[in-house]
Structure formats: C-alpha cells, structure tokens
Structure 1
Amino acid sequence: MKKSLTQRITLSVVGLLIALLFFFPTYWMFTTSLKTPGQVLSPDYDLFPSSATLQNFASALTKPGFVTYLGNSLIVTLGAVIAALVVGVLAAIPLARFRFSGRKGFLLLILVAQLAPLSALFIPMYLLMRDIGLLDTLPSLLLVYFATSLPFTVWMLYGFINGIPYDLEEAAMIDGCSRAGAFRRVTLPLLGPGLVTTSVFSFITAWNEFLFALVFIHDKSKQTLPVWLSSFKTAFSVDWGAIMAAAVVYAIPALIFFLIVQRKLVSGLTAGAVKG
C-alpha cells in the first residue's frame, strides 16, 4: 500500500532523529579529540568547537607500543575471521545441501552456542588455554575469537547457501563439472555477499573484544588495541582528549574495512533473508 506524503515525512523525520541519536556519540568522540585539556574539562559543552588541536592525536600515536598493539590486533582479528569463514563454509555446505540423521539437532546446537553469553565461556576457555599452554600468546586470542564467531558464521552461511538454488549446481554437473567444481564455479561466487556479511560481523566482534585480551595476555608486547586504550587511564588522572583521539584512530581500520565491503554487505543482508 502506497504511503501518503504525511506518512513519508513522518517516517523520514523519525529515521533522521534515530540516526542522529546513534551518530552523536561518534561526533562527541571526534570533537573531544580536537579539544585542549581546558576545553575537555569545561562544564560548558561546545557543540561546535571554535578552535581545534591535533596534540591529542600526537600524544596517542606516539604512546609506546601503538604499532605493536595494532599489529597484534590485526593478526588475531584477521586470522580469526579467515579461519571462521573457511570452517564455516565447510560446515554450512553439508548442512544446507545434504539430508542426514541429526541435522536439525546439530543446527539447534549451533543456534544455542550462538545465544550463549560470552561471559559464561570465560572460565572454561581460560582453563583450557592454561592446560594446553597457550596463555599469554596470540594464538589463544585467535582461537577464542574463532570459537566465538564460528556459530554465527555457520548459521548465516547456512541461510545463504539455502537461498541459492541447487538446480544451478546440477546444471553445472550435467555440463561436466564435479560436485566440488560446481560449487566452486557456481555457488561460491554467488555466496560472496554472505561471506562479506559474516566477515564484517566477525571482524567487529573480534576487533572490539577487551576482556579476553586483558586476562589472557600479560606480556605487554602481545597485547591488543582495546587494552592499549585502557592505558590512558591511570590512578592519578585520565587524559580524556588522548583517549578520544586514540578511539578515533582505533575505529579507522574497522571503518575502512566496512567502506570497502559496504555494497556487498547491503546485498548480503537482503539475500540472507531469502531462506533460513
């Protein structure tokens, strides 16, 4: 049913207000990063700062360990995302294409694993990493991020593969392709939006994780950027300007990754809703 002009205007205004509500914390973070210490601590909030300084960014980027922490975060995050995508595809293919005993129960277990709170897994994962000697190493974080993102990846890719007609693979096999070749040449290219969508969510989850990185890693040379952000707060003071500048810098890799894949992400979100 076609909406009236009044309805369209009302929905647009409501959507704009919601967008501003979510955008304001980011705007506040960015403007605070450009203020001097006196402006940051001033009781009068300046919505549009009359002057700006880059000193906070200089303080953040020159803080010891930034490049090391950035490299550690990229290693564990990208490693977890790639591993989750590979294993997720290999798990989603038989779940979507084959019919076997226990299939529905396995899908239910995947959903339950996804719904389980991450904090409930903290102690078991800590004990496991301690027993296998991986505490205070980057592989421990990589395995944790991989394990926490895998159920979501499998569940999403299962829906995407289900939404791709199997007739396309059958047609390719009739033309001479093997089953694996048909999947690689036909289904896998169509699965691109699904891979992008799951990789974005997995990337953001691993990139922003703080608690496991704080407890599992004690060696400062192996810590990640979320832990680095907490180092701006000491027992005597808090450098709010530098924290905001560091947060802006911290958000740039995720923003770049999102901008690169945004078109595929939008199409992937709609395609994944076809079947589940």
Structure 2
Amino acid sequence: MNEQPRTLYWIFLGFVGLVISVYVLFPVFWLFLASFKTQAELAQLPISFWPESPTLEAYKALFSPTHQKGQLLDWPQLIGNSFFIAISSTMIVLIFGTLAGYAFARLNFPGRDLILGGLLISRMFQGAALLLPTYRLMSMMGLQDSLIGLVLLYSAFGLPFATWIIASSLREIPRELEESAMIDGASRLQSMVLVVLPLATPALITAAMWHFVGAWSEFAFASILLESNENKTVTIGLASFVELFTLEFQYVGAAATIVALPIMLVFFFGQRYFTRGLLAGAVKG
C-alpha cells in the first residue's frame, strides 16, 4: 500500500531535479554551441539553437598569433600558467596533507581532535574577507605577481581540507595491517607507503581532485596578485575576454569551453573515486 506514494515521491523528486538541471545547464550548453557558430549566425533572426555550419574558427583564433584575438590574449601561456599552479599546488597539498593526515590518524598527542576540527573550521574564513590581508602579506614577502607565490597561497588554503579528508579515511584502515608489516621488519614510513596509502587511494584522489579543480578555477586571489600578462591564468583571461569581446559570443564560448574542459575531464575519470573518498570516514562501521 505504501509503494505507490513512495514511487510518486521519487518521480516528483526526479522531475524537480531535471527542471533544475535544465535551468542551470542550458545557458552553459548554449554557450558551448555558440563556440561553433559564426558571428553572422549568432546575429541572425530567428535564433538557431544548433549550429547550421559548425566551425572551429573561434578556437583557431584563440591560438593563432596572427589573429587579433590571439594577439590580445596569449591563451597557450594562460593555460600553461594555470596548469603549473594547479598541478604544483596539488602535489604540495597531497604530500603534506598525507603526512599530516597520517599523524592525526595514527599518533596520539594533546589536542589532536581539536586541531583536526579547527582545520575544517578554518575553511569558513576563506574568501573576500582575506583578499586585503593576503595581498598585503604577499607584497611584504615579495611574492606579488609571482606564480610561485600563488602556488604557495593555494597550497596553504587547500592543505587543511585535504588533511581532514585523508585523516578521516586513514582512521578507517585497521591498525593491525600496519602493525603486521612492522612486525615483519618494515619501518613506520615503509608501512605507511606500502600498506596504508594504497588502501587510502580514493581519499588521496579525492583530495587531489578537489584541490586541482579549486586551484584551476580560482579567480579572486589571482586577479589581485597577478599583474603582468605573462603570469595571468585562464580565469583572468576569460574575464578579460568577456570585457574585450562582449558581443562576440563565439570567442567567449570557445574560451569558456577551454577553461571548463580540464575540470570536466577530472570529474569524468575520477568520479567514482571522488564519491568514495568523500564518504570515507563519514560512517563508523
């Protein structure tokens, strides 16, 4: 008797989710399709949703040093800077987050749980409130307009959450496995690297994905710290592109697609690890 109301409930939730998805994703999908249109096709009436004559001219223009769009914004340089910042800071966060997470999960010291909870709470204070003090601090340290400075900044911001994710996962791994390896002659470092970390792979991938996506798409701190064109990132380039070419949506769409592509690839290949990593340690068994 209760099956029909439950079925209707899930159908209703699915319909609501579908409506919200269409509402959110439709402008994104339209901008993606616009990148394959010409300016004339975008300006014609009535508006056509699908490209009538798909073209890659907008993408070619971004990477062409002879085209006006490619001359004003060096997109290969922007992409290279973003990859350098995102990958470098992700590696730093993963290495130090793993060591810190292992310490919180395996070592007993005063205030351990309080400090671990404080790391998570610290994420509440990121954002616009930290822009001015961060700018002054980076200027005093001589790291303004520096890719290395942005790598260190993103690493500092990403380390607390990565540590919390990894520590929560490591706590679910039985200590007996590690102790058995140490009885067989392995050191603590060897047992951590060869026994514990392979079992914590979903959490490690989750921490890496979370930080990479955040570092790749971050705009606020990059916009106030990076001034020279050779140091700017893709998010700054996209914002400048919108200001420069507001009416030429095919170029804006191409640039937005390039910015979003790495994020989509990361979640496409790591989705199953991402879900498992977030849930690790959430339920006590």
Structure 2 length as normaliser, TM-score? Answer: 0.86
| Contact 1:35–1:49 (Cα < 8 Å) also in 2 | yes
Unaligned residue ranges in structure 2 (runs of 5+):
65-69
Q: Could you report, residue by residue, the CA deviation over 1:181-214 in whole angstroms, capped at 9, with x for unpaired residues? A: 2211211001110011111111111101112222
The whole-number CA distance in structure 2 between the counterparts of 1:42 and 1:203 is 40
Q: Is the 8 A contact 1:160 1:191 kept in 2?
A: yes
Who is 1:199 aligned against? 208
Distance apart, 1:103 and its partner CA: 1.4
Match of 1:48 among 47, 50, 55: 50
Which structure has more RCO (C-alpha within 8 Å, separation ≥ 6)?
1
Give SS of 1:259's match: helix
- Which residue among 61, 64, 83 is the counterpart of 2:63? 61
User: 1:1-276, aligned counterparts within 5 Å?
Assistant: 4=4, 5-41=7-43, 45-62=47-64, 63-64=70-71, 65-234=74-243, 238-275=247-284
3-state SS, counterpart of residue 241 of structure 2? coil
Deviations 1:149-185 (A, max 9, x none): 1111111111111121222212222333222222112
What is the identity, as a one-letter code, of the residue corresponding to 1:148? F
Give distance in 1, aligned partners of 2:163 and 2:45: 49
Alpha carbons of structure 1 residues 153 and 275: separation in structure 2 relative to 1, 3 Å: farther
CA distance, structure 2, for counterparts of residue 228 and residue 183 of structure 1: 42
Cα separation, partners in 2 of 1:175 and 1:19, compared to 1, 3 Å: farther
* Length, aligned pairs only: 275
Q: SS of the residue aligned with 2:94?
A: helix
Q: What secondary structure, in the 3-state scheme, does the structure 2 residue paired with 1:231 have? A: helix
How far apart in 2 are the matches of 1:6 and 1:231?
A: 48
Name the amino acid aligned to 2:52: S
RMSD: 2.4
The 10-residue stretch of structure 1 (88-97 or 54-63) with the greater mean CA deviation from structure 2: 54-63
Separation in 2, partners of 1:191, 1:3: 39
- How far residue 269 of structure 1 moved from its aligned partner, in angstroms, is 3.0
The answer (yes or no) to whether the contact 1:163–1:274 under 8 Å persists in 2 is no
Note if contact 2:90-2:211 (Cα within 8 Å) is conserved in structure 1.
yes
How high is the TM-score relative to the length of structure 1? 0.89
Residues 169 and 281 of structure 2 are in contact (CA less than 8 Å); yes or no, is this contact kept in structure 1? Answer: yes
* Cα distance in structure 2, aligned partners of 1:230 and 1:7: 42
Q: Do the aligned residues in 2 keep the contact of 1:61 with 1:246 (CA within 8 Å)?
A: no
* Residues 1:172 and 1:3: Cα distance change in structure 2 (over 3 Å): farther
In the aligned structure 1, how far is the partner of 2:214 from the partner of 2:81?
15
- Cα drift, residue 235 of structure 1: 6.3
Partners of 2:46 and 2:90 lie apart in 1 by 43
One-letter code of the match for 1:168?
L
Letter of the 1:30 partner, please give it.
Answer: F
Shift of 1:142: 0.6
Percent sequence identity over aligned pairs: 35
Residues in 1 aligned to 2:206 and 2:241: alpha-carbon distance in whole angstroms: 33
Please identify, of 260-269 and 159-168, the stretch whose mean Cα deviation from structure 2 is larger: 260-269
CA distance in 1, matches of 2:243, 2:12: 47
Q: Once the 2 structures are TM-superposed, how far is the Cα of residue 10 of structure 1 from its aligned partner?
A: 4.0
